[in-house]
Amino acid sequence: MDPRDELRELIAEAAERLRFCRELGLTDLGGAPVLSSTAEELPRTPTPEEGRKMAKKEKAAPAAESLFGDLAAPPVEEQHGAESLDDIRADMGDCHRCKLWQTRTQLVFGEGSARAELMFVGEAPGADEDMSGRPFVGRAGQLLNKMVEAIGMKREGVYIANVIKSRPPGNRDPEKDEIQACIPFLFRQIAAVKPRLIVTLGNPATQELLGTKTGISKMRGQLLDYPRLPGVKVLPTFHPAYLLRSPDKKREAWEDLKKVRAFLQGEPQ
Q: What is the pLDDT along the chain (269 residues), one digit of tens a residue?
A: 666 767 777 676 666 555 544 444 444 444 444 443 333 344 455 566 665 655 554 444 333 333 333 445 578 888 877 899 999 999 999 999 999 999 999 999 999 999 999 999 999 999 999 999 999 999 999 999 999 999 999 999 999 999 999 999 999 999 999 999 999 999 999 999 999 999 999 999 999 999 999 999 999 999 999 999 999 999 999 999 999 999 999 999 999 999 999 999 998 87
DSSP β-ladder status, 159-162 and 118-122: parallel
pLDDT at 67: 33
DSSP β-ladder status, 159-162 and 197-201: unpaired
User: How far is Cα 204 from Cα 170, in angstroms, rounded to an integer?
Assistant: 17
Q: Which fold has domain 79-264?
A: Uracil-DNA Glycosylase, subunit E (3.40.470)
pLDDT at 82: 86
Closest CA to 41 of 82, 13, 75: 13
CA 74 to chain centre: 11
Q: Give Dmax over CA atoms of the chain in angstroms.
A: 87
Question: Taking the chain, what is the end-to-end CA distance rounded to the nearest angstrom?
Answer: 75
pLDDT at 30: 42
Whole-model pTM?
0.73
pLDDT at 186: 98
**From-to residues of CATH 3.40.470.10 in the chain:** 79-264
- Spatial contact of 122 and 162, defined as CB atoms under 8 Å apart: yes
User: How far is Cα 109 from Cα 133, in angstroms, rounded to an integer?
Assistant: 7
What is residue 245's three-state secondary structure? helix
